[in-house]
């Protein structure tokens, strides 16, 4: 998929805010004060799937919004940086 633009309309800034809020909520539900890449990765598909609209060619090629979101997530390298659990650990 690299080099081929299948997206006609991408997610809006509101979608980014929704993804951030959902990721923070998921982190809290798992007992963590900070959202991680894993939280974003787990929620990106349900949050962005209906907000990404594909162009005509991509739809005729059988691509889906979910497939495009998955491909984008696969391209983002995972950062394995431990985040501090408390402010004292950060200092």
Residue 87 lies in a domain: no
Give the length of the chain: 91
- Write down the pTM of the prediction: 0.73
* Whether the predicted pLDDT of 4 surpasses 60: no
Residue 88 falls inside a structural domain: no
Domains contained in the chain, number: 1
Mean pLDDT of the chain: 85
Which structure tokens are listed for 37?
């890449």
Q: Is the pLDDT of residue 3 over 50?
A: no
Question: Which domain CATH number covers 49?
Answer: 1.10.8.80
pLDDT in tens, 11-43: 899 999 999 999 999 999 988 888 988 899 999
Confirm whether 82 is domain-assigned: no
What's the domain range around 44?
Answer: 7-77
* 11 within some domain: yes
Task: Average the pLDDT over 73-77 and give the result.
Answer: 86
What's the rounded Cα separation, in Å, for the pair 16 and 22?
Answer: 10
């Amino acid at each position: 998929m690299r080099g081929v633009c299948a997206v006609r309309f991408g997610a809006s800034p509101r979608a980014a805010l929704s993804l951030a809020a959902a990721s923070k909520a998921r982190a809290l539900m798992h007992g963590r004060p900070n959202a991680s890449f894993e939280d974003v990765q787990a929620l990106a598909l349900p949050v962005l799937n209906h907000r990404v609209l594909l162009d005509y060619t991509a739809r005729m090629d059988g691509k889906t919004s979910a497939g495009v979101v998955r491909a984008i997530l696969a391209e983002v390298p995972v950062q394995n940086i431990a985040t501090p659990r408390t402010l004292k650990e950060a200092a």
